[in-house]
Amino acid sequence: MNRVDSNGVFEYAEWRYGPQKRIMGSIQAIISSHTFLSDKLTITGAFQKLYEERLTRKFGNSKLVDQFENVSVASLNIDAKKRFNSQNSLLYGLEFIYNEVYSKATRVDKITEKLDSNATTLYPENGSYTRSLAAYIKHDYRFNDMWVFSSGMRFGLNSLNAGYQALANSIPFTELSMDNFSIVGHVSINFHPCNRYRFYGLLSSGFRAPNIADIGKFSSDAINQKLIIPNASLSPEKIYNFELGFYYSPTGQWEFDINPYFMYVQDLMQISPGQYLGADSILADGVAQKVYLMSNKNAGINTGIQFKANYKISKVVNAYANYTYTFGQNITQGLRLDHIPPMYGVIGVNAEFTKWMINTNIRFNGAKSLEFYGPAGSSDNIDYALPTGTPGWWTLNASAKYQWTKAFQMNFGIDNLFDLHYRPFSSGISAPGINFVVGMRGEF
């Protein structure tokens, strides 16, 4: 209902998700034995499989497009802890993750109920997978009860392969592959002179390899005449981070926690206008659309602050407040980064009695004007915003838990008590109005 062209004509008659099917499981072994290599060894294996589908039909068109994905994820983690003495301890381990995605699509005529032709898949139609193998080591050195120094490194190898059908999706290649090696690390210092004060400082580096959605996604938006195509030359982002933390409790009732940070991003991945075979527009879904692709020719900064406060009104009643502010900028192009929410937070009061736990809070989001949105084509979805951007909003919410027995707990909740209308930043639809929740939880 939101997507209309300049003439007020709807783009879709149907746009919905099918049911998601999911199965997951994990198994873990913990070996607590003082050996030369470790005092505690944890081995965790996990597997999950997901099935998702999206069903769309253009307005005035009888053909229903069904895009569906089968996703398999397997992982193995080996983590070891070793304490040498009262001052030195070591954490180290290995991690292996495997992701596999098979993407298919069909187009069915709802009148004749016949399969018309294959449709465009969301992800590479011949399948794709990523593999990640990493090793890490972290050393903690305790000078005394007040000072602790920590340092660590992580070595990672990431690979990606994707297969495309010849001449499908208007891309000039049938296979895409990528291999990346990364070394990242951190150093930090913690100062804890007493229960009233805590302070820490952290320097760290990071590495994010492109995933299937970053590098291989094919997405058409006919209303906005925007076509996102795969980019075989996309490279990883590199991040350098500086963070501070300060905790202060002047009395037994008040607690304050403040955490500012500054992050520099190199080879920033961001959707930007591109070209296909020298042209900035191509024909897709019967419409000439501008070409966009994920690229990383830029650098950016991301900085912000988080603040928390707690006040113990009595032994059973506690007041709290959280506030977060984030700022992001593409410093190469002078544009705002996408995925940056407006300031947000919560103010509330909770109470715990013998069997009851009660919470009342106000959640709020600040406004975000258009000048702070990411560039056109980004995930900020500027076309869903008002002419002034996204207005601020707040909701009043309440919840309660009743511990019926040791095994059973009843849950009650009311969200958006005043039934206020608002839309979260970058969303295409408005948030729910007043919402009631009743549930029961049992443990055996």
pLDDT digits (tens, 9 = 90+) for 301-317: 999 999 999 999 999 99
More confident of the two residues 335 and 414 = 414
Q: How many residues does the chain have?
A: 444
**Secondary structure of the chain: what % helix, strand, coil (to 5)?**
5, 65, 30
The architecture in CATH of the region 12-322 reads Beta Barrel (2.40)
Provide the Cα torsion 129, 71, 224, 167; round to 10°.
Answer: 50
pLDDT digits (tens, 9 = 90+) for 141-166: 999 889 999 999 999 999 998 887 76
pLDDT digits (tens, 9 = 90+) for 373-409: 887 667 788 878 888 899 999 999 999 999 988 899 9
Q: SS3 for 163?
A: strand
The whole-number pLDDT of residue 367 equals: 95
Longest dimension (CA), the chain: 78
List Cβ neighbours of 429 (8 Å cut-off, separation of 6 or more). 2, 423
The whole-number pLDDT of residue 243 equals: 96
Please check the confidence at residue 286 and state whether its pLDDT lies above 70.
no
Q: Taking residues 84-109, report their average pLDDT.
A: 93
Q: Which residues face 436 on adjacent strands?
A: 414
List Cβ neighbours of 327 (8 Å cut-off, separation of 6 or more). 301, 302, 303, 304, 340
The whole-number pLDDT of residue 116 equals: 73
- The full set of domain ranges for the chain reads 12-322, 338-444
Q: Say how far residue 420 (Cα) sits from the centre of its chain.
A: 27
What percent of the chain clears pLDDT 90, i.e. is strictly above it?
56
Of the candidates 53, 51, 50, 30, the residue with the CA atom closest to the CA atom of residue 40:
30
What's the whole-model pTM score? 0.81
How far apart CA 223 and CA 215 sit, in angstroms, is 23
b/e burial code for range 279-312 (CB count within 10 A of at least 16 → b): eeebebeeeebbbbbbbbebbbebebebebeeee
312 and 320 Cβ atoms separated by less than 8 Å: no
Q: Most confidently modeled of 170-174, 278-282, 419-423?
A: 419-423
How far apart CA 220 and CA 285 sit, in angstroms, is 8
How much is the mean pLDDT over the chain? Answer: 89
Q: Say how far residue 388 (Cα) sits from the centre of its chain.
A: 26
List Cβ neighbours of 272 (8 Å cut-off, separation of 6 or more). 292, 293, 294, 295, 375, 377
Please check the confidence at residue 279 and state whether its pLDDT lies above 80.
no
Confidence tier at 318 by pLDDT (50, 70, 90): very high
Please check the confidence at residue 169 and state whether its pLDDT lies above 70.
no
Please check the confidence at residue 283 and state whether its pLDDT lies above 90.
no
